[in-house]
Structure 1
Amino acid sequence: MFPSFSLGLTFLAALVAGETRGITPHDMYSSSVGVLGCKIDTNRVAYWPMSVDCDNICVRVSYGGRSLELLRIDQSGGAYDISYDAYNYLVSGQSATVHPITGGAVNMEVQNVPAENCVKHLKAGGLALSASNSINYVASCLGQPNSWVARNYRLFNIQDPVCHWGYDEQCSLDLKISNQPSCPRALGSTNGRLPDTVFNIQYGTGAVVAAP
């Protein structure tokens, strides 16, 4: 009885404490599932090596007495990256636009937290996704109808994560009728490049530049 209880406490402590990972900075916004950078705070994103799922899209990263909650909406090639500004703040306590630093992997504590903790980083009332390029991800989440993404996704007629092409208009999806979203204008259409609305903070300089 007592050993089992002890193991249970150890397991709960591990969940609360999280895990340690070598965290590196990432200075160009991207999203493997098509989350639109113009509809989120791109300075608060995590790029983890595992695929993006439909519930665990918010992580807390802690270091030096500081913590940030970040949207986990991109799959990296193997690293545990976070937005450069988030990395800069956790290491130095200041924004990368104020006091940019450079550096490699820093061991930080990471843990999954409820997706609601990251709603503050969303600008569209939900997780904004590309209607033309995120349908596989959305369909997989709709197959889990109680998942957070299934209940909180939004589709926009914008083609790319950095919001260069398309129309900034919301679309609807009813898989019982079609596997293609319905938008006010033709799905995937465009009328020239949209104004720049996604910006990166350059590594090492702190300069704010439009996403390419």
Structure 2
Amino acid sequence: MFTLFALLFTLLAALVAGESHGITPHDMYSSSVGVLGCKINTNRVAYWPMSLLRIDQSGGTYDISYDAYNYLVSGQSATEHQITGGAVTMEVTNIPADNCVQHLKAGGLPLSASNSMNYVASCLGQPSSWVARNYRLFNIQDPVCHWGYDEQCTVDLAVSNQPSCPHALGATNGRLPDTVFNIEYGTGMVVAAP
């Protein structure tokens, strides 16, 4: 059905020929593969006419950010006019990853150096894949960017499977400033990610 990359890192668009799925809103940012919310536009992620960045590997669930869901259902941001409800059937199709680079603040797919190495190693096993050519590792421990150092890391799997960072991998110097914000379901209030 899908390749590993299409399943883990697929960029989706709506209202073009594709598969029908019940799309549901997700009002709290998360990523099961370690995509860092502080380095992407969290209001345009898929967990369709708009391009969304798929950053999760939830099996049969088709969650998207609450703001993207609200926009596709009502034509307005969730901060302006809140829509509540369950799944809405939408047409979904895969598009090239380069169509979503505007959602990536780091110049590539930002991943947690301490928590994404299985995903990175799998992607590097397919050197011509988009992720293998465009990933960025950061010394940030969690998807909502509360802990770690906001610094880039490198990895050479021929030498080690542990990334090299300016500070020790996984080290922290207290909580980082809030940089990931959620739009609360039903209220439209913008709040710092917990």
> Displacement of 1:79 after TM fit?
1.9
Q: Secondary structure at the match of 2:102?
A: helix
Partner of 2:161: 179
The one-letter code of the counterpart of 1:111 is: T
Residue of 132, 142, 155 corresponding to 2:114: 132
Partner of 1:121: 103
Residue of 128, 140, 148 corresponding to 1:146: 128
> Displacement of 1:77 after TM fit?
5.4
Q: Secondary structure at the match of 1:197?
A: coil
1:108-156 CA-partner distances (Å, limit 9, x unpaired): 1100000001101000000000000001100000000000000000000
Partner of 2:180: 198
> Displacement of 1:20 after TM fit?
1.1
Residue of 70, 73, 76 corresponding to 2:52: 70
Q: Secondary structure at the match of 1:43?
A: helix
Instruction: Calculate percent identity across the aligned residue pairs.
Output: 85
1:183-205 CA-partner distances (Å, limit 9, x unpaired): 00000000111010000000000
Q: Tell whether 2:69 aligns with 1:87.
A: yes
Q: Tell whether 2:17 aligns with 1:17.
A: yes
The unaligned stretches of length 5 or more in structure 1 are 1-15, 48-60, 62-66
Instruction: Classify 1:141/1:77 alpha carbon distance in 2 versus 1 (closer, same or farther; 3 Å).
Output: closer
> Displacement of 1:103 after TM fit?
1.2
Residue of 82, 85, 88 corresponding to 1:106: 88
Q: Tell whether 2:42 aligns with 1:42.
A: yes
Q: Secondary structure at the match of 1:17?
A: strand
Distance in 1 (CA, whole Å) between partners of 2:172 and 2:159 is 24
The one-letter code of the counterpart of 1:150 is: A
The one-letter code of the counterpart of 2:37 is: G
TM-score scaled by structure 2?
Answer: 0.90
The one-letter code of the counterpart of 1:44 is: R
> Displacement of 1:84 after TM fit?
0.3
Distance in 1 (CA, whole Å) between partners of 2:163 and 2:150 is 14
Q: Secondary structure at the match of 2:42?
A: coil
The one-letter code of the counterpart of 2:94 is: N
Instruction: Classify 1:77/1:147 alpha carbon distance in 2 versus 1 (closer, same or farther; 3 Å).
Output: closer
After superposition, the CA RMSD in angstroms is: 0.9
Partner of 1:7: none
Distance in 2 (CA, whole Å) between partners of 1:81 and 1:199 is 17
Q: Secondary structure at the match of 1:120?
A: helix
- Which structure's CA Rg is the greater one? 1
Q: Tell whether 2:28 aligns with 1:33.
A: no
